[in-house]
Structure 1
Amino acid sequence: MALWDRIRESASTMQTQLTAKKNDLKSGAFRDASMAMCALVAAADGTIDPAERRRVAQLIATNEVLGNFDADDLRRRFEDNLAKLTADFDFGKVSVLQEIAKAKKKAAEARAVVQIGIVIGGADGDFDKSEQAVVREACFTLGLPPHEFDL
């Protein structure tokens, strides 16, 4: 199986698992951590171009699980996290990882946040090394073993 197909299949599997848990993923901690994860993955390579920003914003707006929340509020939180990362990536990453850590108390939410990171990272068919690295770092922040997600 080609790498492209494995990435697409993995992202699809993660989305299916997220959708199955949709009713359990309504907390503010999950919302905040998810938007922080989206921003972290989008800026993983140290830059974010307008096309990438639009693609991630569109995924956020159309993701069934994130439909539990107000789209404008999600967009604002995503943009706030991106602003922190683009102003100073290393310092911003500390703040964004603190947002991600909000989901640590509930294992289902923590796993869902990681799954969202994988879905966002694999959406363009290229879950690259920098994206994998920040999702792996988020796993450690959430107290989850990266190998559980093939990272």
Structure 2
Amino acid sequence: MALWDRIKESASTMQTQLTAKKHELKSGAFRDASMAICALVAAADGTIDPAERRRVAELIAGNEVLQNFPADELRRRFDANLDKLTADFDFGKVSVLQEVAKAKKKPAEARAVVQIGIIIGGADGDFDKTEQAVVREACHVLELPPHEFDL
């Protein structure tokens, strides 16, 4: 099976798992960590163009699990994290990873955050090395083994 086919299959499986847990994933910590991982993945290469920003925003809005939260609140948090990353990527990354860490206390939420990062990263058909690296960093911050997610 080609790598892209495995990524698509994995993302589809992860989305199914997330949807099954939708009613458990309603905390503010999960919301904040999810928007942080989305911003990290979107800006993984150190830049983000307006088209990529729109694409990720559309993916967030269309994600069934994230519909637990008001769309305008998700957008505000996503944009705030992106602003930190675009102003100074290295410094912003520290701050955004602290947002990701909010989900560490609940293992189901922590895993869901990583799964959202993988789904967002693979949505364009190319879950590239820089995107994988930031999701792997998120695993470490969340105290989850990256190999659990094939990272």
Tell me the TM-score normalized by structure 1: 0.99
Map 1:2-21 → 2, pairs under 5 A:
2-21=2-21
One-letter amino acid matched to 2:115 = Q
Report the count of equivalent residues: 151
- Structure 2 stretches of 5 or more lacking a match? none
Q: Does 1:58 align with 2:58?
A: yes
Deviation at 1:122, TM superposition (A): 0.4
Q: Give the Cα separation in 1 of the matches to 2:23 and 2:113.
A: 15
Report what 1:118 is aligned to.
Answer: 118
Aligned-residue RMSD, C-alpha: 0.5
Map 1:100-139 → 2, pairs under 5 A:
100-139=100-139
Report what 1:77 is aligned to.
Answer: 77
Q: Give the Cα separation in 2 of the matches to 1:89 and 1:44.
A: 9
Q: Does 1:38 align with 2:10?
A: no
Q: Give the Cα separation in 2 of the matches to 1:15 and 1:81.
A: 23
CA deviation map 1:78-99 (0-9, x unaligned): 0000000000000000000000
SS of residue in 1 equivalent to 2:41: helix
Tell me the TM-score normalized by structure 2: 0.99
- Structure 1 stretches of 5 or more lacking a match? none
Moved over 6 A (4+): none
SS of residue in 2 equivalent to 1:93: helix
CA deviation map 1:96-149 (0-9, x unaligned): 000000000000000000000000000011000000000000000000000000
